[in-house]
Amino acid sequence: MTTAAGQYAPIMRKVTADEAAFRDRLEPHRRELLAHCYRMLGSVQDAEDAVQETLVNAWRGMQRFEGRSSLRSWLYTIATNVCLRMLERRSPRVLPIDYGPPADPLSPLGPPLAESTWLEPYPDMELGLEGGLAGPEARYLQREAIELAFIAALQHLPARQRAVLILRDVLGFSGSEVAATLDTTPTSVYSLLQRAHATLDARLPERSQATALRSLGDERLRAIVSRYVEAWAAGDVAAIVAMLADDATIAMPPTASWLRGRDAIGAGLLAGAFAGGQRWRLLPTSANAQVAMGAYALDPSGAFRPYGVTVLSLRDELVAAITTFGDPSAPERFGLPAQA
């Protein structure tokens, strides 16, 4: 006598095999989808949630995928619309420089604001970003399109403008492909793209970090990183200030505090980060395709514990911006140790 379980076993084996095969087809796209969702949302954690929802929706809709478009463009359609729905439910993420005026360098840091207010750093070394264009019609290199200034500028675009610009200029999709993704017309795509260009061009620096790092070369870049790390380890504020551009900024999310100018930053470091003889260690890494360090602060036990991740923006051989994300869990996401 055949049991119910025995009767349906071949069907269940087929479903399981189909699911495994489909997941194998989806897996190579996970990393690039994560970068896409991060550009849309400004948060790695939110992007991970969006990618998970995208892959679940893709599996559930597998029978509706008829191969009229590529699997890649179909997945981007799902992911983009997942992100658009998420953006309807929350405010854009920003950096402190876009949140309010600079602080008094001699005043204590303000209280941390809600975590969901701020952009998060992107661990590109772990996720393996490509350096070239994603498609023949792309306007931005993949590494340029993950830089902190680029991600911050994207967050100032309305959600659909953001989606159009990323799909067209970063991923290189055609106007008709973007229109199909957003269920609109190529004419509407062109209009949204023109408005997005105007906003983005006004907010982006003249040179990308990709260009700045290439112009420095590996040897000079290593020397800059070494000097910066050593200055922090020595508590040498004068040496740190000497590495700054005149109009350099420092921002410290999750507080809204930020400072502009060498003198203000020097005073702020003496009154804050190095007050009371506080000591630091920095471990080099890479975030948002930029120079970055895991920051570790000496605690009363004598151990250097994780404080967060610092991302530097360089201009020639000077530091133009320091963004320190104060999140003790962040270094682990960059593959850095639990203590330095």
Query: What is the domain extent for residue 214?
Result: 209-333
CB atoms within 10 A of CB 273: 20
3-class secondary structure, 249: strand
What pLDDT is recorded for position 10? 53
- Cα–Cα distances (Å) from 248 to 206, 261, 265, 295, in that order, read 15, 5, 8, 19
Structure tokens at 71: 């699997």
Does 309 map to a domain?
A: yes
For residue 254, say if its preceding peptide bond is cis, omega within 30 degrees of 0. Answer: yes
Does 98 map to a domain?
A: no
Output phi, psi for 306, to 5 deg: -60, 135
Does 108 map to a domain?
A: no
d(CA 131, CA 145): 10
3-class secondary structure, 158: coil
Q: Are 37 and 83 in contact (CB under 8 A)?
A: yes
With CA atoms as reference, report the closest residue to 146 among 165, 163, 164, 170: 170
Find where tokens 């009363």 sit: 300
Does 202 map to a domain?
A: no
Query: In this structure, are strands 318-325 and 280-287 parallel, antiparallel, or unpaired?
Result: unpaired
Burial letters for 291-307: b for 16+ Cβ neighbours within 10 Å, e otherwise?
bbbbbbbbeeeeebebb
Does 127 map to a domain?
A: no
What pLDDT is recorded for position 311? 98
Does 182 map to a domain?
A: no
- 265: domain CATH number is 3.10.450.50
d(CA 113, CA 96): 10
Give the global pTM. 0.90
Does 96 map to a domain?
A: no
d(CA 340, CA 334): 14
Tell me the helix, strand and coil percentages in the chain, rounded to 5. 55, 15, 30
Domain boundary (60, 90, 120) is at 90
What pLDDT is recorded for position 126? 62
Does 163 map to a domain?
A: no
- 17: domain CATH number is 1.10.1740.10
Q: Kindly report, residue by residue over 161-219, the tens digit of the pLDDT.
A: 999 999 999 999 999 999 999 999 999 999 999 999 999 999 999 999 999 999 999 99
Domain boundary (34, 65, 90) is at 90
Beta bridge partners of 298: 304
Q: Hey, CA dihedral for 151, 157, 158, 162, is it positive or negative?
A: negative
What pLDDT is recorded for position 12? 44
Amino acid at 185: T
Question: Which helix H or strand E contains 76, and what residues bound it?
Answer: helix 71-88
Q: Give the CA angle between residues 243, 334, 111 to the nearest 5°.
A: 70
Number of structural domains (the chain) is 2
Domain boundary (64, 90, 116) is at 90
Residues lower than pLDDT 50 in the chain: 1, 8, 11-12, 14-15
d(CA 206, CA 196): 17
